[in-house]
Amino acid sequence: MSDSIELPENQHNSADKHPSIDTAAIAGMYRTWFLDYASYVILERAVPYIEDGLKPVQRRILHSMYEMEDGRYNKVANIIGNTMKYHPHGDASIGDALIQVGQKDLLVDTQGNWGNIHTGDSAAASRYIEARLSKFALDVVFNPKTTVWQQSYDGRNREPVTLPVKFPLLLAMGVEGIAVGLASKILPHNFCELLQASIDVIKGKRPNLVPDFITGGLADFSKYNEGLRGGRIRVRAVIDKIDKKTLVISQIPFGTTTTSVIESILAAVEKGKIKIKKVEDNTAAQVEIVINLHPDASQDPDKAIEALYAFSLCEVSIAPNSCIIEEGRPRFVGVNDILEISTRNTVDLLKLELEIAREEKNRNGTTVHWKKSLLRSESTAPLRCAKHGNK
């Protein structure tokens, strides 16, 4: 026995009795909403802007840290809370983005346990670690006089549309983001090589950039294709022979950790691809994975190394996809073209700063002490560069 419920007569055909109510097909509504959502994720979440090389969350974090800057370290929890004035997507996304920026050791000066890029260990809780802007960031990234501003999402504050970065930051830090139907993966490049390539661009020469990985490794860039879709890089770990039964991995491929490499080696052992007695992870400041071959194995160390490359993460293939936002829409641009655009932007920003300084001097009738970066740009002092990574 089933009960039926009848609606009152005055509730039938309410749309017919109220012609002012708009109706729309469900399919059309979903199509419009999904397009709006996809556009928002592409422009406001996952893909960096060519002007400053930053995703919106990274830009808001840096702007918030500049707002809090007093020369001292701030708790990361406080930075996250202040950034939520500008970023409406929660504290977790802000914290993760700040940790990633801090681990690159370029824009943020860190204090405390910020994790380990080699082992994959996570950072301590945000209430325990601290950060402040690096001297490099203060000198190169910010200038309120040349910044274009916009209202924040709730209209209570203002935030920069883009930061006036006078450096190819996007190529130095690299970026990876997945949007709706679109992805961006730009690999990091060497700090000193970017400076020299920018000088070559100013001289009218065409740059030829290849990535540089802070984790080291051996890489084949013959099919890099300027970082565009279709390109591919093969990266191998550095494996040294200590003796006939002992191997040591001292550098790992980009995008892997010692944990993931060891797990892939153990998986190959279980499948019978290689005979290994024991694997030890002695990684601290430097990578050190000790592999003890099985004493009864007849294979020589060279064949064991080839098996590690073939059946574990000691060799990986990386597919770059250089996608950026330019003039409000996504574009696929090669890394050499990105450097040329960045160099032109830097020159324009320096000219604008000099023009503002001249106008202020003429208006005030006094000498304006401009930023030290303009004075240092005339210096020919050599730069010291680390072997790996962007220092």
Active site residues: 128
Contacts of 115 (CB under 8 A, 6+ apart): 99, 103, 121, 122, 123
Phi, psi of 210 (to 5 degrees): -135, 155
Which of helix, strand or coil describes residue 197?
A: helix
The amino acid at residue 100 is: Q
**Long-range pairs of 302-305 with CB within 8 A, sequence gap ≥ 24:** 302/241, 304/247, 304/274, 304/276, 305/239, 305/241, 305/247
Cα torsion through 15, 16, 18, 22, rounded to 10? 50
Question: For the chain, how many residues are written?
Answer: 391
Residue 318 half-sphere exposure toward CB, CA atoms < 13 A: 30
Taking each helix axis from N to C end, the angle separating 91-103 and 76-83, rounded to the nearest 10 degrees, works out to 130
Q: How far apart are CA 135 and CA 141, in angstroms?
A: 10
Q: How far apart are CA 180 and CA 169, in angstroms?
A: 25
Q: Which of 112, 93, 17, 109 is nearest to 55 (CA)?
A: 93
End-to-end CA, the chain? 78
Cα torsion through 308, 259, 171, 98, rounded to 10? 170
